[in-house]
A and B are shown apart, each in its own frame.
Chain A
Amino acid sequence: MQGKIENRCIPTLSLRSLRSWNWGPNMISLLFALLTIAIVLAWRDHWRLSYLVFAVTLAMSIYWLDFHATTPLSIKL
Chain B
Amino acid sequence: MIILAPHPSRTLNAIGLLVVCGILIAAYAFQFALDELPCPLCLLQRVALVGVGYGLCLNLIYGAKPHHYGIMLLSAIYGGSVSVRQILLHIVPGTGSYGSPVLGLHYYTWAGICFFLVILGTAVMLLFEGQYKKALVDKPEHGRFGGQPLAKLAFFLMLFLAAANVVTTFLECGPGICDDPPTDYKLIEELKSDG
- Which residues in A have some Cβ–Cβ distance to B below 8 Å? 10, 13-14, 17-18, 21-24, 26-29, 31-33, 35-36, 38-40, 42-43, 47, 50, 54, 57-58, 61-62, 64-65, 68-69, 71, 73-77
Please, which residue of chain A has its CB at the minimum distance from the CB of B47? A31
Q: Which residue of A lies closest to B155 (CB)?
A: A43
Chain A neighbourhood of B82, CB < 8 A: 65
B58 an interface residue at 8 Å Cβ cutoff? yes
Q: Does B85 contact A (CB under 8 A)?
A: yes
CB of B170 within 8 A of CB of A27, answer yes
Residues of B within 8 A of A14 (CB): 190-191, 194-195
Query: What residues on B are CB-neighbors of A40 within 8 Å?
Result: 159
A32 CB to nearest B CB, Å? 4
CB interface residues, B 1-54, toward A, < 8 Å: 40-41, 43-44, 46-48, 50-51, 53-54
Q: Which residues of A contact B51 (CB under 8 A)?
A: 35, 54, 57-58, 61
Residues from chain A with Cβ under 8 Å of B102 in the complex: none
Q: Contacts A32-B169, A58-B78, A77-B92; is A68 near B40 (CB within 8 Å)?
A: yes
**Once bound together, how far apart are the Cα atoms of A75 and B191, in whole Å?**
30
B111 at the interface (CB under 8 A from A): no
Residues of A within 8 A of B163 (CB): 32, 36
What 0/1 readout, one digit per residue, does chain B (47-89) give for beta carbons within 8 Å of chain A? 1101101100110011000000001001100100110010001
Q: How far is the CA of A58 from the CA of B71 in the complex (A)?
A: 10
In the docked arrangement, what's the CA distance between A76 and B180, Å? 14
Cross-interface CB contact of A29 among B48, B155, B169, B195, cutoff 8 Å = B169
